[in-house]
Amino acid sequence: MFRKIPSWLSKSIFYQVYPPSFYDSNGDGIGDIPGVIEKLDYIESLGCNALWLNPCFDSPFRDGGYDVADYYKVAPRYGTNRDLQRLFKEAYKRGIRVCLDLVPAHTSIDHPWFKQSCSAKKNKYSDYYIWTDDWVEDTGELKAVRGYAERNGSYIANFFWSQPALNYGFAQPDPKKSWQLPVTHPACRAVRAEMINIMRYWLDKGAAGFRVDMAYNMVKNDKDCQQTARIWRQVRNMLDKNYPDAAFIAEWCNPAQAIPAGFHVDFMLNWMSLTDKTLLQQGRPRDVLPDTEDKCFFTRTGHGDISGFLKSYLHHYQHTRNLGYISIPTGNHDLLRLSLGRTQKEIELAFALILTMPGMPIIYYGDEIGMKHLRNLPSKEGAYTRTGARTPMQWDTTSNAGFSKAAVHKLYLPIDPHKNRPTVTGQDKNPRSLLNTVRKLITLRKTHPALSADGEFIPLYAEPKKYPFVYQRQMGSEKFIIALNPSNTPAEAIFTYPYPINPTQLIMGSIDTIHEKHAHYHLKMPPISYAILKV
C-alpha cells in the first residue's frame, strides 16, 4: 500500500515551461533559468502553484534535452545548478513548487556511461545499455542502431538513434539471446540505483518532484508493463518513506496502469483527440483510446463525439479514483498548439473543460494567451513538426516580444511574426481577454473544493454525436454543473437532476434557457458557448 497523495497536489494547477523559449535573461537568444525566476510573479499572477520544467540538464540537444549527457548538471545555456536551486527557493516563496523532467529510459550517446559502454573492452558500463551480442542479430520490434561503436553488436535505441535505451532488463529474456538480461541482473540493478540517486540528488536540492519521461518504457518485452510497474513501485516506496511530499508524475498515457504502478498522476493525452484531428489521424494517443472512432469534439462543425472520450475517461477515472490523478494538459511541447484553427471563444471552451475536470490541470506556456502554432518552421533540435509549439513566449510589444534582447537571428526560434500576435501585456488589463478568463477559471477552481482534483465527476449528458457535454462536479453539499457546446449551432441537453436548477445560478459563461419539463431539465446553449452553474 502506498501513502496518500501529497496534499498540495490535490490543489495544484501546473504551468509547463519549455526552458529555451520562456524568457532570456542574459541576451544570448535562449531562455534560461534566471529568466524563469524573473517571470515567477507572472506565473503566480495566473494562480498556478506548480511548475514543470522540460529537461534542463546538460545535453547535446538532439531531442530538446530528452537526451541527457549529465543528470547532475544544469545545461550551461540555462545557467548553473545554483540557479536551479535559486529557482526552487524563489518559487517556493510564492507558493509554487518546481518539478523536473526525469528521463530514465535512455540517455544521450554523449553520456559518459554510454561512451564507456561502447568500448570493446568489458567495463562497469558494458551492460548499462542493451547491446546485442553480434551486430547482425534480429532485434524484432526493438530499434537497433548498427555501426556506431567498435564493440561488436548493435545497441537498442528508444526514440531517436541518439537515445540509447538504458538497460532495465527483459521481462522474459529469450533463452536463445543471451544479451537479453533478466531484470535481476546486477547491471540492471545498478542502472535502477543510478536513477534513484539522481532523483534523491535533486529532491535534496529542493525539487518538488518529477515528470517521468516514457515511464512505461523501461523493461523490454514487458507484457502489460508488469515489470516496469515493479520498478516504479519500488521508487514510490522510497519516495513515500523519504520524500512523502514529492510529486511523481508519469508520462505513461494510461492512468489505469500508471497509478497502480506507483505514480500520483498520469497524463491523459487522448483528450487532445477531442481538439486535434491530426492527432486523431496519426492514431495518437497510443494505447488509451479504446476505439478509434472518437471524433474531435472541440470543433465548430459539430461532427464530434464526446462519448468515445468519456468511455475512455471513465475507465481511467474509475481505476484511479482516490489513488491518483488524471492530468489533462492544454497542450505540450510534442503537440500542436490548442489555438490552431480556434477563435478566442473556442479556446476558452477548452480551458473551461480542463479547469473544471477532476485531477491535475497543466497549462502549457503561452496557451493562456492563445499563442499560435507556427507551421512550417525548420526543425529545431529534433523537434520536427513539434517545433511550431515551442516558439518564444510573447511577453509584450517591445522587440522580440519582450522575450530576449538578442539580435533576431540569434533567437532560439522565430517569434510569431503577426502584427497582432497575442502578448501578456496586451491582455493583462483587459477583463475580457483570454488571459483573464483563464485567471478567472483558475480562481474558481481554487476557491471551490467541488471543482478541485478530488471533487466527484458525474456526466449528465454525453450522447454519441450530440452536443453539448454536461457534467456535475460535487464535494459535500457543493455542486457545479458545467456545460460545453463547441459546435457553431445551438444545442440542447435533456437530463434528469435531483436538485433545482435555474438561470440565476450561472456564474461563468452563458446559456440560452433552462427549464424543467416532465421531470427533465432542458438546457439550451448558444453556439460556441460554455456555462458554469453553481447549483
Shortest gap between Cβ of 289 and ligand NOJ (angstroms)? Answer: 18
Residues 32, 63, 276, 367: which binds ligand NOJ (CB under 6 A)? 63
Q: Among 334, 428, 456, 492, which residue sits at the site for ligand NOJ (rule: CB under 6 A)?
A: 334
Q: What single DSSP character describes residue 220?
A: B
Q: How far is the CB of 385 from ligand NOJ (least distance, A)?
A: 12
Amino acid at 471: Y
Decide: is 114 part of the binding site for ligand NOJ (CB under 6 A). Answer: no
Q: Check: CB of residue 386 under 8 Å from CB of residue 340.
A: no
Closest separation in Å from C-beta 67 to ligand NOJ: 7
Residue 369's nearest CA partner among 340, 392, 339, 349 is: 339
Taking the least distance from each CB to ligand NOJ, the nearer of 164 and 486 is 164
Site string for ligand NOJ, 231-260 (x = CB under 6 A): --------------------x---------
Q: Which is nearer to ligand NOJ, 194 or 334 (CB)?
A: 334
The answer to whether 348 contacts ligand NOJ (rule: CB under 6 A) is no
- DSSP-H helix ranges across 132-254: 186-205, 226-242
H helix or E strand, kind and range, residue 145: strand 143-145
Q: Which is nearer to ligand NOJ, 214 or 362 (CB)?
A: 214
Rounded Cα gap, residues 149 and 157, in angstroms: 14
CB of 103 or CB of 247, closer to ligand NOJ: 103
State the nearest-atom distance from the C-beta of 507 to ligand NOJ, in Å. Answer: 36
Does 364 participate in binding ligand NOJ (rule CB under 6 A)?
A: no
Q: Are 204 and 140 in contact (CB under 8 A)?
A: no
**In the complex with ligand NOJ, which residue's Cβ is closer, 102 or 511?**
102
Residue placing its CB nearer to ligand NOJ in the complex, 61 or 297: 61
Shortest Å, Cβ 502 to ligand NOJ: 45
113 within 8 A of 128, measured Cβ to Cβ: yes
Q: Report the residue count for the chain.
A: 535
CB 70 within 8 A of CB 56: no
Q: Does 66 bind ligand NOJ (CB under 6 A)?
A: yes
Closer CB to ligand NOJ, 21 or 487, in the complex: 21
Cβ atoms < 10 Å from Cβ of 421: 16
Q: Does 333 bind ligand NOJ (CB under 6 A)?
A: yes
With CB atoms as reference, the residue minimizing the distance to ligand NOJ is 66
Q: Which stretch binds ligand NOJ (CB under 6 A): 62-70, 130-138, 236-244, 526-534?
A: 62-70
Considering Cα of 97, then 101, then 102, then 105, what sign does the dihedral take? positive
Residues in region 86-105 near ligand NOJ by CB under 6 A = 103
Number of residues that bind ligand NOJ (CB under 6 A): 10
* Distance of alpha carbon 494 from alpha carbon 472, whole angstroms: 14
Other Cβ atoms closer than 10 A to 267:
26
Q: Which is nearer to ligand NOJ, 16 or 485 (CB)?
A: 16
Cell digits of residue 24: 532570456
In whole angstroms, the minimum distance from the beta carbon of 211 to ligand NOJ comes to 9
Give the residue carrying C-alpha cell 534542463.
56
Tell me how far, at minimum, the Cβ of 343 lies from ligand NOJ, in Å: 28
Q: What is the largest CA-CA distance in the chain?
A: 81
Query: Which is closer to ligand NOJ, CB of 220 or CB of 333?
Result: 333
d(CA 4, CA 464): 36
- Which letter does DSSP use for residue 77 in this model? G
Options 60-68, 145-153, 400-408, 484-492: segment touching ligand NOJ (CB under 6 A): 60-68
Between CA 523 and CA 33 the distance in angstroms is: 48
The residue range among 61-69, 78-86, 267-275, 450-458 that interacts with ligand NOJ, by the rule CB under 6 A, is 61-69
- Reading the block at residue 295, the C-alpha cell is 471524433
Nearest approach, Cβ of residue 443 and ligand NOJ (Å): 30
Interface residues for ligand NOJ in 207-236 (CB under 6 A)? 213-214
Task: Show the binding pattern over residues 8-37: x = contacts ligand NOJ (CB under 6 A), - = does not.
Answer: ------------------------------
The Cα angle at residue 255 between residues 252 and 258, in degrees rounded to 5: 60
Tell which positions 127-166 bind ligand NOJ, by CB under 6 A: 159
What cell was used for 323?
A: 489513488
Cα gap 182→173, rounded to integer Å: 6
Please state the closest distance from residue 105 (CB atom) to ligand NOJ, in A. Answer: 7
The DSSP result for 285-344, as a single string, is SGGG-S-TT-B-SSSTT---BHHHHHHHHHHHHHHHTTT-EEE-BS--TTS--TTTT--H
Phi, psi dihedral angles at 75 (to 5 degrees): -60, 130
- Which residues on neighbouring strands pair with residue 516, listed in sequence order? 521
Among 63-71, 255-263, 277-285, 421-429, the segment contacting ligand NOJ (CB under 6 A): 63-71
Question: At closest approach, how far in Å is the CB of 362 from ligand NOJ?
Answer: 12
Q: Which residues bind ligand NOJ (CB under 6 A)?
A: 63-64, 66, 103, 159, 213-214, 251, 333-334
